[in-house]
Amino acid sequence: MSLVRLNIKGISYSQTQNGAYALILNEVEGDRKLPIVIGAFEAQSIAIALEKEIKPPRPLTHDLFKNFADRFDITVKQVIIHKLVDGVFYSSIICERDKIEEIIDARTSDAIALALRFNAPIFTYKNILDKAGIYLTFTSKDEHQDEDSIVVDELVNPEKESPASDESYKKYSLSELYNMLDSAVTNEDYEKAAKIRDEISKRNK
What is d(CA 38, CA 131) in angstroms, rounded to the nearest whole number?
19
Question: Do 131 and 178 fall into the same domain?
Answer: no
pLDDT tens-digit readout, 150-189? 343 334 333 333 333 345 788 888 888 888 888 877 776 7
Q: 3-state SS of 26-50? A: EECCCCEEEEEEEEHHHHHHHHHHH
- CATH code for the domain in which residue 49 is found: 3.10.690.10
pLDDT tens-digit readout, 128-157? 999 888 876 544 444 433 333 334 333 433
Question: Do 195 and 95 fall into the same domain?
Answer: no
Is 103 part of any domain? yes
Number of domains in the chain: 2
Is 141 part of any domain? no
Is 190 part of any domain? yes
**Does the CA dihedral 129-130-132-133 come out positive or negative?**
positive
CA terminus-to-terminus distance, the chain: 19
Question: Do 190 and 93 fall into the same domain?
Answer: no
Q: Note if the pTM is more than 0.95.
A: no
Question: Do 111 and 186 fall into the same domain?
Answer: no
Q: Which domain, by its residues, includes 111?
A: 3-135
pLDDT tens-digit readout, 46-93? 988 987 766 777 888 999 999 999 999 999 999 999 999 888 899 999
Query: What's the CA dihedral at 107, 113, 119, 124 to 10 degrees?
Result: 40
Question: Do 76 and 19 fall into the same domain?
Answer: yes
Side chain identity, residue 64: L
Q: Give the H/E segment covering residue 78.
A: strand 75-85
Question: Do 125 and 182 fall into the same domain?
Answer: no
